[in-house]
Amino acid sequence: MEGIRTVELFAGVGGFRLGLEAASDKFHFVWADQWEPSMREQYAFECYQAHFGNSENHVCQDIAKAKSDVPDHDLLVGGFPCQDYSIMKKNSAGIEGAKGVLWWQIDDILKEKRPLFVVLENVDRIIRSPAHQRGRDFSMILRSFYEKGYAVEWRVINAADYGNAQRRRRTFIVAYHNKTRCFQDLADGVCTKGLKYMHRYLMEHAVLTKAFPVSSHSRTYTESWIDELAYIDMPDVAAKQKAYFYNAGVMMNGRIYSVDVCPCRERAIPLGKILEKGPVDPRFFIRKEDMPQWVYAKGAKHEKRKRRDGSVYWFNEGAVRFPEPLDGPSRTMLTSEAQVGRTSHVVADPMTGRLRTLTPIECERLNGFPDGWTNTGMPEKMRYFCMGNALVVPLVTRIGLALIEAAGQ
């Protein structure tokens, strides 16, 4: 392979591209797609173009329409939208839900193009979704890869465990096609040594283990099957499969091994270290009149609330730290960051000691983007939104380096 022709789906503001290009100039981005369904203005796409150029290979269209234009490539990457995987919504529709359906767009591209490697990112909950049939959605994803001749490994990574400033937990999925050397090596090992080899592979040799070394593992593990002997077809998987997946796993020839692994922890960057040190604009400071709202949002609650049907229930939640501690990594940043709410970060400004929200630059730093990455003409609220959607770039760089090795580049 002369260089790695890479296609980026659900590109957002280009976190995958930024991370992979930092790893090696062997990643050649040949096509990208980004389209925000709920908005007329396409700010993330504009940001992508501002950094990577206006090109007919940068497409701003629903992937359902654009997928027929995807060129041949060696590596497919993307952080596919995840809203429906929320286990916070009790009746989560999982992969069959409106946005979850996007998985099948990836599936169609795999069917048509069979890239040698695939790297996907999603929320940590994807391996447990949906709430009423744990592990079903992820089993369907694994089956889908299996049917196309891929081996798959996954890890749930907390960015702070590997030296970043945010405790952002995401599932990374790496798949390689049976034409690759790493597939064949894994297949040989599993064929001759079985489950023991799958375990050793996860502890030492997997692409994601090279990127994110592990120190130990849990005593318990799960083994399951996703092949035709276990399930006739995909609807059969959807109807019957229930599986418990741990934070690491591998699927080879329809056999799945999964175990909880412990990261070789690297010192996280404390939140205090990424804060802007100079004077920040007054608009970031919490106004006196807004303080009660913040105090309420962050505080403990034990109160009666009404359901839509008029019935009453007790709502309980504990207090969260307010302001944030600065001596450890931050909590996960969401798309609603900086709006008054429980999940937004409020910090004591290093210069004045007064309480304020994070600035867009600080949010970029939490994800490892260069300062001002999203300062490409979008409204400030969208800069927060884009960072809430984005991934932690240095994690992708590490995966890129491990992938280069696996691809023999």
Ligand X SMILES: C[S@@+](CC[C@H](N)C(=O)[O-])C[C@H]1O[C@@H](n2cnc3c(N)ncnc32)[C@H](O)[C@@H]1O
Least distance CB 9 / ligand X (angstroms): 7
| Only segment of 107-115, 190-198, 294-302, 388-396 that touches ligand X (CB under 6 A) | 388-396
Which residue, among 144, 149, 47, 52, has the nearest Cα to 104 in the 3D structure? 144
52 makes contact with ligand X (CB under 6 A): no
Among 7, 81, 135, 268, binds ligand X (CB under 6 A): 81
Residue 33 binds ligand X, judged by CB under 6 A? yes
Q: Binding to ligand X by residue 44, rule CB under 6 A?
A: yes
Q: Does 171 bind ligand X (CB under 6 A)?
A: no
Beta bridge pairs of residue 348: 355
Find the binder of ligand X among 4, 6, 15, 271 (CB under 6 A). 15
Separation CA 117–CA 208 (nearest Å): 13
Cα distances (Å, whole numbers) of residue 198 to 82, 155, 182, 262: 28, 14, 13, 17
The answer to whether residue 60 is catalytic is: no
For 376, the token pair is 């490409």
Q: Rule CB under 6 A: say whether 400 interacts with ligand X.
A: no
Distance between CA 97 and CA 130 in Å, rounded? 10
- Which C-beta is closer to ligand X: that of 142 or that of 391? 391
- The residue among 244, 236, 155 whose CA lies nearest residue 202 is 155
Task: Single out the catalytic residue among 47, 60, 82, 182.
Answer: 82
Paired residues of 304 in beta bridges: 314
Residue with smallest beta-carbon separation from ligand X: 12
Query: CA-CA distance, 363 to 388, in Å (whole number)?
Result: 8
Q: How far out from the chain centre does Cα 196 lie?
A: 29
CA–CA gap between residue 373 and residue 218 (Å, rounded): 40
Amino acid, single-letter form, for residue 58: H
Measured in degrees and rounded to the nearest 5, phi and psi for residue 74 equal: -100, -30
**Half-sphere exposure of residue 399: CA atoms within 13 angstroms, side-chain side:** 30
User: Which residue among 12, 115, 135, 263 contacts ligand X (CB under 6 A)?
Assistant: 12
Show the tokens assigned to 303: 């109160």
Range 364-383, binding ligand X (CB under 6 A): none
Tell me which of 30, 31, 32, 36 binds ligand X, using CB under 6 A: 36
3-state secondary structure of 197: helix
**In angstroms, what is the minimal distance from the CB of 384 to ligand X?**
13
Min separation Cβ 398 and ligand X, Å: 15
For position 390 contacting ligand X by CB under 6 A, the verdict is yes
Considering only residues 89-118, where is the footprint of ligand X by CB under 6 A?
A: 102
d(C-alpha 240, C-alpha 276), whole Å: 52
Which range of residues in 133-141, 266-274, 358-366, 386-394 is near ligand X by CB under 6 A?
386-394
User: Minimum CB separation from ligand X for residue 15, in Å?
Assistant: 2
Give the binding-site size for ligand X (rule: CB under 6 A). 19
Query: Whose Cβ is closer to ligand X: residue 100's or residue 226's?
Result: 100
Residue 76 vs 346, nearer CB to ligand X: 76
- Interface with ligand X includes 63 (CB under 6 A)? yes
What distances in angstroms separate CA 245 from CA 61, 146, 222, 330, 391, one per listed residue? Answer: 34, 17, 7, 26, 22
Q: Which residues are catalytic?
A: 82
Binding region for ligand X (CB under 6 A): 10, 12-13, 15-16, 33-37, 44, 62-63, 79, 81, 102, 389-391
